[in-house]
Structure 1
């Protein structure tokens, strides 16, 4: 008996287009869920220095006598930049100093009169001998006039006192009445009081003069400080180490008014920052400490790459500026710090970064999946559609 075996061939059904489409959609959803995209806030900024550009102004006006720097020159703190004519300032300060010396000498004379002592002129005898001579003569004349008047009254007092003593003896013997004795006594007392009154007036007038002189001295000292300040400001010095820029006036003999700008100095040893303006619509996405990608317009990004920075400042409120079209624009001011440590190995060296360079900023706010951006309009549409007014 012969057995025959038949071979059966089983064939699986070929997947249709719908299956491929479903697998593709599922794969895309998985990829979109795990693939993240950086969420950025973009802005335009400018390189600045932390200490800001120093504006050299003329405090009190004057004529430019000497200009000792030129635009682009490196200067150091305390270096003399320019000199203004100082003759008038010197004359003004000398005038006040002479007035103070005259007042001080007058005060010495008045204090001597009030204390009934000889005046001690001190160093003024050498420095201002002509003023001392005038006050010495005034002291002598005033004192002689007082002494002359007192001398006459003293004679009158002596006569009145002698008359009283005579009447006192006659009263004891009964030759004059008590009324005559009291009249003589009153005349002697009045003469003595007049002498004392003259001395008191002499001293009181001296004390009043001292108070008036002291008040004038205080006023003149304040004026001297003002004149000395004007004199000091005729020498313009650099407040920082930096580079001279924007030299406004270079003509010797040119007249500068009070507050006029002579030049600007850009600090060289100050920390470099990037300052930018962020739209109020994006301010909710950024916060201090976020990393920032910086692209300098002066260096081709495709060749030199970018720099890394950190967001260090956000203005507490919006600021307002007038746009070129005349419209007002609001923005938040932000600052980004940069350092060599963060950008070690960069093709752009820190020394090549100059104040005033324009910069494009990308603030790295967070990361979102592709699926989030795909679903965002759908979720937004449904959230509005399901609400009821």
Structure 2
């Protein structure tokens, strides 16, 4: 083989070196990986808006504007529907007519018969009142008669006492006459024995003594009889008291019984009045009327002849004018992060949207809102918040209807993306709002305003 000979100093070109160069595809891939890594690294320092996500429904802010059911106050049977579903009704319009299902109210003349019972009871009450007055007069008459009889008995006692005193004086005089006659008889008998008096005079004195003795005995009997009359007069007072006490007690017993019957009759009259009023009011519940203006959106008892229980709903009414609000439920750990007036982004069902929750300004199809109400009491482990439209942003669609689904997220503080990823990986909560500076600023402004007011005064 002959060797290749080149002149000295001439450059030699080798093709193998050209074949060993780095391919262009590898270089491009390396460039792309470096660019993507750099972009991702820079993206970690982009601002990210923390948020709280929750599902909810569309409702009305005022409870009176929310759809409400129309219940039946009484049980009954459906007789006629006066409006179809979707009909606009005003307050007081008749929606449904029902009839009775209780046998107590089947009588069409029930009010008339109850009124007749009322009239009869009132007549009985009037007669009972007259009886009460008559018994009261009878008691007064018995008391007056007792007093009159007692006065009469006292007068009789007084009269008998005076008579007893007179008889006592007569008895004392008769006893004195008896003693004198007895002394005269003894003296006459002594003179007769001495022969100074005749037998005729002695016998005359004895006759006079016997007359005096008989008179004494008569006065003694008369005195004893008068004493007995006095005792009987005093006993008669006690008898009169017992007799009239029995009569008055019986009259008072009759009066109490009559008053008791009167009170019972008053209770029955009040019960009848209550029943009449309840029946009249009940008759007004045979026609179910709209409690407010709105649309009859759904009939819950549609069939004619269906029975309805007390308090059972028969239809749903939705008001026309209402202020829309979104009802969201958040977890207890997210509740301290929320405050009234805080911004919320909303996505409604049926409206297409492109959402970047961390960059709310880059998406479209979402609508703004502000937190208006935060409940203080939880329900099933969550707390409810009400979100109203934000007047500073795009208005909500007019075609929204109550009850449609809503997806919302409350916007919190802006943090770097790397911090948010680190927080999510560790399961830490979002940053709590800093209220200290705002509170201090508010207190300073209040103090400043108070000082200004004092200066003006």
Q: TM-score, normalization: structure 2? A: 0.55
Q: Which moved more, 1:73-82 or 1:97-106?
A: 97-106
- The 8 Å contact of residues 367 and 394 in structure 2, kept in 1 or not, is answered as no
Matches of 1:354 and 1:263, distance apart in 2:
18
- Is 1:108 paired with 2:122? no
Going from structure 1 to structure 2, the CA distance change for 1:225 and 1:273 (only over 3 Å counts) comes to farther
- Is 1:289 paired with 2:329? no
How far is the alpha carbon of 1:293 from its aligned partner?
A: 1.6
Going from structure 1 to structure 2, the CA distance change for 1:25 and 1:71 (only over 3 Å counts) comes to closer
Matches of 2:331 and 2:238, distance apart in 1:
99
Matches of 2:107 and 2:298, distance apart in 1:
28
Residue number among 225, 242, 257 corresponding to 1:205 in the alignment: 257
Matches of 1:304 and 1:36, distance apart in 2:
19
How far is the alpha carbon of 1:257 from its aligned partner?
A: 2.2
Residue number among 357, 367, 372 corresponding to 1:312 in the alignment: 372
Higher share in helix: 2
RMSD: 4.7
Secondary structure (helix, strand or coil) at the match of 2:300 reads coil
- Is 1:270 paired with 2:325? no
How far is the alpha carbon of 1:242 from its aligned partner?
A: 1.7
Matches of 1:75 and 1:377, distance apart in 2:
53
Matches of 2:50 and 2:109, distance apart in 1:
68
Q: Which moved more, 1:86-95 or 1:265-274?
A: 86-95
Structure 1 residues not aligned, in runs of 5+ = 1-20, 117-141, 321-329, 382-389
Q: TM-score, normalization: structure 1? A: 0.63
How far is the alpha carbon of 1:263 from its aligned partner?
A: 0.9
- The 8 Å contact of residues 58 and 403 in structure 2, kept in 1 or not, is answered as yes
Secondary structure (helix, strand or coil) at the match of 2:299 reads coil
Residue number among 53, 72, 76 corresponding to 1:42 in the alignment: 53
- The 8 Å contact of residues 89 and 227 in structure 1, kept in 2 or not, is answered as no
- Is 1:85 paired with 2:99? yes
Q: Structure 1, residues 93-124: CA drift from partner, whole Å, max 9, x if none?
A: 555554444443333333333334xxxxxxxx
- The 8 Å contact of residues 368 and 394 in structure 2, kept in 1 or not, is answered as no
- Is 1:58 paired with 2:76? no
Matches of 2:252 and 2:425, distance apart in 1:
104
Higher share in strand: 1
Going from structure 1 to structure 2, the CA distance change for 1:317 and 1:104 (only over 3 Å counts) comes to same
Larger radius of gyration: 2
- The 8 Å contact of residues 40 and 365 in structure 1, kept in 2 or not, is answered as yes
* Residue 362 (structure 1) aligns with: 409
Structure 2 residues not aligned, in runs of 5+ = 1-32, 168-222, 355-362, 429-457
- The 8 Å contact of residues 62 and 255 in structure 1, kept in 2 or not, is answered as yes
Matches of 2:425 and 2:401, distance apart in 1:
47
How many residues matched? 319
